[in-house]
Amino acid sequence: MKVKLHGTRGAYPTSSPTNQTYGGNTSCIEVINGDERIIIDAGTGILGIDFDHYYKANRINILLTHLHMDHIQGLAFCKPLFNPQKEVHIWGPSGSPESLQSRLNRFLSPPLFPIPLRDIPATLIIEELPNTNFRIGKFEISSEYISHPGPTVGFRIKCGFKSITYMPDHEPVIGKSHLFPEDDWVSGFNLAYQSDLLIHDSQYSKKEYKTKVGWGHGSLDIAAEFCSRAKAKHLIMFHHDPTNTDDERTQMFEAFMSTVNYDFPIELAVQGQEIQV
Range of the structural domain that residue 21 is part of: 2-276
Q: What is the tens place of the pLDDT at every residue in 88-120?
A: 999 999 988 999 999 999 999 999 999 999 999
Element containing residue 2 per DSSP (H, E) = strand 2-7
Q: What is the tens place of the pLDDT at every residue in 81-90?
A: 999 999 999 9
With bands split at pLDDT 50, 70 and 90, how would you rate the model's confidence at 262?
A: very high
Cross-sheet strand order for the sheet of 2-7: 123-129, 87-93, 59-63, 36-40, 28-33, 2-7, 274-276
* CATH assignment at residue 197: 3.60.15.10
Q: Please check the confidence at residue 57 and state whether its pLDDT lies above 90.
A: no
Q: What is the DSSP letter of 167?
A: E
Cβ contact 58:33 at 8 Å: no
Least reliable range by pLDDT among 2-16, 163-177, 184-198? 163-177
Cβ contact 228:264 at 8 Å: yes
Q: Please check the confidence at residue 56 and state whether its pLDDT lies above 90.
A: no
Local structure of 255: helix, strand or coil = helix
Instruction: Tell me the C-alpha to C-alpha distance, in Å, between residue 18 and each of 87, 152, 208, 215, 251.
Output: 38, 30, 20, 25, 14
Averaged pLDDT of the chain: 96
Distance CA 214, CA 159 (A): 34
Question: Looking at residue 177, what is its pLDDT?
Answer: 75
Cis bond upstream, residue 116 (ω within 30): no
Q: What is the tens place of the pLDDT at every residue in 193-242?
A: 999 999 999 999 999 998 999 999 999 999 999 999 999 999 999 999 99
Residue by residue, DSSP assigns 147-162 as: SSSSS-EEEEEEETTE
Question: Looking at residue 174, what is its pLDDT?
Answer: 84
Distance CA 231, CA 248 (A): 29
Number of structural domains found in the chain:
1
Question: Looking at residue 167, what is its pLDDT?
Answer: 98
